[in-house]
């Protein structure tokens, strides 16, 4: 009887946020977000302006900006490292990428106004 022990570790994720750098030039997209492992869970009190693995949308996903869809196509690629050991003593390592795309509607944004003059 041959047995195998297989372990999969999520080593990184790549997020394509689907948003153009400028809605007037939809083919110029923003750079993908690279995260180690699965990313970080939300922590209450964390600085929302500087997450370790995050993204802030600059544009609402209006139909006129999204060829009528009203959503940005967000694609995540999960990068896995697979290690295996057979009962014969043979071992190996492989990598596998999985990918999925979902529509994301972005409807609002917040502005921060600051007084930059010293009074």
| Residue 119 maps to a domain | no
In the chain, pLDDT over 70 holds for what percent of residues? Answer: 88
pLDDT, tens digit, for every residue of 85-109?
Answer: 999 999 999 999 999 999 999 987 6
Find the domain containing 41 and state its range: 4-104
Please give the average per-residue pLDDT across 56-63, as a whole number: 89
Contact 49, 55 (CB under 8 A): no
Phi, psi of 23, rounded to the nearest 5 degrees: -55, -25
Given a cut of 60, whether residue 113 has pLDDT beyond it is yes
| Residue 24 maps to a domain | yes
With the CA atoms of 69, 58, 78 and 39 taken in that order, what torsion angle do they form, in degrees rounded to the nearest 10?
Answer: -140
Long-range contacts of 61-70 (CB under 8 A, 24+ apart): 61/19, 61/104, 61/105, 61/106, 61/107, 65/20, 65/23, 65/26, 69/103, 70/105
Q: Is the pTM of this model over 0.95?
A: no
| Residue 62 maps to a domain | yes
Q: How many folded domains does the chain comprise?
A: 1
Given a cut of 90, whether residue 57 has pLDDT beyond it is no
| Residue 61 maps to a domain | yes
| Residue 117 maps to a domain | no
Q: Are strands 72-86 and 20-22 parallel, antiparallel or unpaired?
A: unpaired
| Residue 115 maps to a domain | no
């Amino acid at each position: 009887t041959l047995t195998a022990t297989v372990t999969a570790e999520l080593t990184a994720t790549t997020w394509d946020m689907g948003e153009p750098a400028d809605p007037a030039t939809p083919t110029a997209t923003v750079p993908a977000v690279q995260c180690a492992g699965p990313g970080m869970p939300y922590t209450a009190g964390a600085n929302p302006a500087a997450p370790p693995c995050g993204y802030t949308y600059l544009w609402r996903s209006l139909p006129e900006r999204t060829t009528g869809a009203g959503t940005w196509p967000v694609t995540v690629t999960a990068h896995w490292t697979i290690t295996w050991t057979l009962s014969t003593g043979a071992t190996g390592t492989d990598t596998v990428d999985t990918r999925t795309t979902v529509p994301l509607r972005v409807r609002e944004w917040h502005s921060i106004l600051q007084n930059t003059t010293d009074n």
